[in-house]
Chain A
């Protein structure tokens, strides 16, 4: 229930807050509206002028080479483009965007642009227009976030969640350490440059079956212990994981001594993570 309320508050708060934030102040809005109006007229005029010129050029070319099919096609295209530009201008006129001469309308639209409010006036203008909705939105988000955090912490604290929530980190670490102990003599007995496909496949399984599920569930661990205490054991866990990846790379490249060295470094890091866990959550 608490979670549902939190999400509703979040959604309403985000829409209200972002909507309020996106609003333009009155003077700024008036300025932008005038600017876009003048720009729309200018663009239409530019398109019309360019199309007129292209049409004239194409007609001249066609007159010079009446039998040339390419010139005929170009002239047809230019005529069509000119007609389209002319229709745009007529549509603007019909919509009431301007009366009389287009060039004069552009000049008058530019002259009618109200001054852009300065940064502080713009801020005050926005505060009046969108500020209240924005403030309510921010408040709703904050309350929703507080409820969501409380709900998450309550779920993590339930005894049913077990050691470390859904993921059993100490148990996993014990299994990883056992796997590494089993791998050590096997890698140590590998000849230099030996093919190590089976060992690498076992490393892949440790990663996929044991380490990745812990990584995927780290959010629960953060919620359970807080970031600072989580960092104490998870930093060591990550170092162990990185060194296990080094074992994989070294074996691929046929550097067995480096693989052994990295495997032992990995073991030390996982053991450190196990000890750190016990400090954070004593048995």
Chain B
């Protein structure tokens, strides 16, 4: 036996947190810009894990899988604010161009709302971790991919080769799609001359297929939901004449119009309703387990205190203090909004917090099963709720929209990181503390960068959106802010009373009834499938069926040891190439 003073095993270290913070700040700033330019956000976990490998393991010679996990947890946690802010706040800025009264937005309130969302997203996940990661064992495909990446130094050559092979295939496919050598969608229905309202199309995405491969049988209700929506309901809707145009249109055009109407007016809002009903039922049925989890957190904290050790999870006091602090911040931000009094602020904060918690559960469940987060739909509901609650106060509605969007992104990211932590043997407490420490940074950076870009033109014209000089002149510097523009349209529709209340309510009841069935997450999965284009659902479903077939043919060990690293490679490869591609487009002005 070698005698020597054991080195400490670094986990929640200053270096890990600082490296994660530096990466998180850079990613947040860059991803805000990318989202304004291209209209989509990027996840940071995979990138941070790889940079952590290079710097922590390669350069600093710090051999610790769990320290790199803290690094990626911090970096991706900070970055959650980029999508949360950029999908909502630009709408207020864009609206202020045509309505100068909206230009008096209180910046302090915006910052408080975003930080409240970030904080609440983290504390909400603490008691839910046991339920979703340990009891329900949701798959969190990206979390599994990051864990596979982190574990790769200890895995055999074969697993490493499978991971790299998957990443190489994903990289080649993604480059092919981006260069238009490969179509974005493999539209088999068009080849078979099927109408657009009976689609048979596969979304060409290695990550989507990889998520399906990792989910296996558990993801089948998602695919079944898509089949129900597009191969059963859609033809019924057309046959029953629910979407017939008022005047005859030529065949192809009539079919396209019908498909668009079915998606936007029926399936998508109905899907949101199912998500709400499924989540409500899920919260209700999981309540005993969650209260049990809170009790076990308290018991574990007491036991650890008696033994003089630190508990593995944060004690309930942190949860209560964090939730209370976040609620106060939310109340202050609502109170600072123009035209909102004490009672109004209280009502906004209470309803906002309830919706935020429910949306957090929805998004964590959806991400856990499929890796897909219905971020925009849930933020839209938050804005709609607040719009009606405040009698049409746009500033207050968007404030809460910012908080909800940041919070639900935080929930999905934190839960995925905790899944990674479970698989590599990290201490949940360290991950939760690390994320709480940096919870305020992401909102500040994201809001700061957004305002910097908005006020960039020296002549006072808008810095982004359709009315900006760059977009009007059609130059490469145009930041069209598509998500902000979409929310602006929603607010315009709301002001005309266009809210799909009937679909939300009927969908929620269906979701509640479906949740009684003894199939985990069935209502949320079916709702998510209705909310998304069918090509994504079908591509994912192919992955699920393939994983089941391989499992049946070669057994569970094959799935665990070979299929998982390969599927993780598919997710990692696409994420990295997509990031490099986006940065390349921005650098060379190709977007």
Contacts and interface: CB of A to CB of B under 8 A. Distances in A.
Interface of A: 10, 13-15, 17-25, 29-30, 32-34, 36-37, 39-40, 88, 91-92, 94-98, 109, 116, 118-120, 122-123, 125-127, 130, 134, 137-138, 141-142, 144-146, 148-149, 152, 189, 191-192, 194, 200, 204, 207-208, 212-213, 215-216, 218-219, 223, 227-228, 230-232, 234-235, 238-239, 241-258, 262
A253 B9 contact: yes
Query: Which 3 A-B residue pairings sit nearest by Cβ, starting from the closest?
Result: A246-B425, A252-B154, A145-B516
Nearest to A201: B156
Interface in B392-412: none
A218 B135 CA distance: 8
B553 interface: no
A227 B285 contact: yes
Nearest to B63: A253
Contacts of B242: 22-24, 29
A123 B270 CA distance: 13
Contact of B518 (A32, A148, A234): A148
A149 to B, nearest CB: 5
B134 A116 contact: no
Residue from B288, B312, B497 having most chain A Cβ neighbours under 10 A: B497
B293 A231 contact: yes
B514 A97 contact: no
A37 B153 contact: no
A242 B425 contact: yes
A249 B247 contact: no
28 contacts: A18-B228, A18-B229, A18-B510, A19-B233, A21-B503, A21-B510, A22-B266, A30-B246, A32-B265, A33-B244, A33-B246, A40-B245, A40-B257, A95-B248, A118-B497, A137-B510, A141-B510, A189-B1, A207-B560, A216-B556, A227-B135, A231-B293, A235-B296, A244-B425, A245-B425, A248-B154, A257-B9, A262-B425
Contacts of A32: 243, 261, 265
B289 interface: yes
A24 B266 contact: yes
Contacts of B502: 25, 122-123, 125-127
Contact of A191 (B2, B257, B497): B2
Nearest to B509: A138
A97 B151 contact: no
A98 B247 contact: yes
Contact of B228 (A14, A118, A152, A232): A14
A137 B570 CA distance: 40
Given A40-B245, A228-B292, A192 B261 contact: no
A21 B65 CA distance: 49
Contacts of B505: 123
Contacts of B153: 252-253
Contacts of A200: 154
Nearest to B133: A238
A88 B130 CA distance: 58
Interface of B: 1-2, 4, 6-7, 9, 63-66, 130, 133-135, 137, 151, 153-154, 228-229, 232-233, 236-237, 242-250, 253, 257, 260-262, 265-267, 270, 273, 285-286, 288-289, 292-293, 296, 312, 421-426, 496-503, 505-507, 509-510, 513-514, 516-518, 520, 526, 556-557, 560-561
B135 A230 contact: yes
Contacts of B266: 22, 24
A242 to B, nearest CB: 5
A253 B11 CA distance: 12
Given A21-B273, A33-B245, A249-B154, A126 B65 contact: no
Contacts of B506: 20-21, 126, 130, 134
Contacts of A36: 245-246, 257, 260-261
Given A208-B556, A231-B130, A231-B289, A249 B424 contact: yes
Nearest to B285: A227
A231 B292 contact: yes
A227 B6 contact: no
A243 B426 CA distance: 8
B289 A228 contact: yes
Nearest to B152: A252
A250 B135 contact: no
Nearest to B3: A192
Given A227-B135, A231-B289, A243-B425, A249 B257 contact: no
Q: Please classify the interface of chain A as helix (H, G, I), strand (E, B), loop, or mixed, using the class held by over half of its residues.
A: helix
Residue from A21, A25, A145, A208 having most chain B Cβ neighbours under 10 A: A21
A244 B556 CA distance: 20
A227 B257 CA distance: 46
Nearest to A251: B154
Contacts of A20: 506
B86 to A, nearest CB: 29
B65 A212 contact: no
Contacts of A223: 518
A119 B496 CA distance: 10
B236 A19 contact: yes
Contact of B151 (A94, A239, A241, A252): A252
A253 B65 contact: yes
Residue from B270, B285, B293, B509 having most chain A Cβ neighbours under 10 A: B509
A160 B6 CA distance: 51
B436 to A, nearest CB: 20
Contacts of B130: 231, 235, 238
A8 B127 CA distance: 37
Given A40-B249, A238-B133, A246-B424, 6 more contacts: A30-B246, A36-B245, A36-B261, A122-B500, A141-B510, A250-B9
A258 B237 contact: no
A125 B9 CA distance: 65
Contacts of B556: 208, 212-213, 216
Contacts of B245: 33, 36-37, 40
Given A15-B232, A37-B245, A116-B496, A234 B6 contact: no
Contacts of B270: 18, 21-22
A20 B242 CA distance: 11
Contacts of B134: 234-235, 238-239
Contact of B66 (A21, A219, A246): A246
B135 A234 contact: yes
Nearest to A239: B312
Given A223-B518, A231-B130, A34 B246 contact: yes
B154 A148 contact: no
Nearest to A196: B154
Contact of A248 (B253, B292, B425, B500): B425
Contacts of A234: 134-135
A138 B273 CA distance: 14
A127 B266 CA distance: 14
